[in-house]
Amino acid sequence: MAIGATEWSSGWWRHARRVDSPNFGPRPEVTEVSLALIHSISLPPGIYGGDEIERLFTNSLDWDAHPYFQKIRGLTVSSHFVIRRSGEVMQFVSADERAWHAGQSEWKGRANCNDYSVGIELEGLEGETFDAPQYDALKTLLVALRRQYPISDIVGHEHVAPGRKIDPGPGFDWQALRTAPSLADVSFPA
């Protein structure tokens, strides 16, 4: 039995609220999940606590409910995990599968980060700070992921798609992760 097997079932983490997204596909054969990719999201931007993120990732967002939604109309995207401001963790795609979160991306000379990464969205806005319960939940999730997958790098969307993406942004406290003893052997962005 694999380490952490009791925490995971077919790529689903038992501590997350499961919300199935149809927006995923298979990872390329013989692909190891080696990258955790941190994002930020809020819908509409700067508004927290609603169900709009969940609706976006499940293709049930009412595009006419807010003027901003017209800018993203028709997007079919997902992430593996979303961490709410409260620290609640939701999972939309099995970590064994390929979620659609990174888009055109590259890390350490390797393109198509969706193929080998786990996407983690923090409810928040680029440039703003994140809440303590989110960091606590993120650390717990990252430790659990590392028990199940050979994750060696943790970076932001801004690092794999520079010039195109800016999340999680300057409000994200990378030092909070760097100083976590359980993540001491992980590579972080410079």
- With respect to residue 92, please indicate whether it lies within any of the assigned structural domains: yes
DSSP state for residue 168 in the 8-state scheme: S
Kindly report the pTM of this predicted structure: 0.96
- With respect to residue 5, please indicate whether it lies within any of the assigned structural domains: no
- Exposed, middle or buried, 116 (CB in 10 Å: 0-12/13-18/19+)? buried
- With respect to residue 50, please indicate whether it lies within any of the assigned structural domains: yes
pLDDT digits 0-9 by tens, 77-121: 999 999 999 999 999 999 999 999 999 999 999 999 999 999 999
Domain that holds residue 113: 37-180
> What pLDDT does residue 23 have?
98
* Total number of domains constituting the chain: 1
Q: Which of 54, 88, 106, 121 is catalytic?
A: 121
Regions in the chain scoring below 70 on pLDDT: 1-5
> What pLDDT does residue 5 have?
56
Nearest to 83 by CA among 20, 35, 16: 16
- With respect to residue 190, please indicate whether it lies within any of the assigned structural domains: no
Q: Which stretches of 33-187 are DSSP H helices?
A: 52-57, 132-148, 157-160, 174-178
- With respect to residue 116, please indicate whether it lies within any of the assigned structural domains: yes
121 is catalytic: yes
| Region of residue 42 (phi > 0: left; psi between -120 and 50: alpha; otherwise: beta) | beta
- With respect to residue 22, please indicate whether it lies within any of the assigned structural domains: no
Residue 98 sits in a domain whose CATH number is 3.40.80.10
- With respect to residue 88, please indicate whether it lies within any of the assigned structural domains: yes
Whether omega for the bond prior to residue 168 falls within 30 degrees of 0, making it cis, is: yes
- With respect to residue 80, please indicate whether it lies within any of the assigned structural domains: yes
Q: Which stretches of 18-161 are DSSP H helices?
A: 52-57, 132-148, 157-160
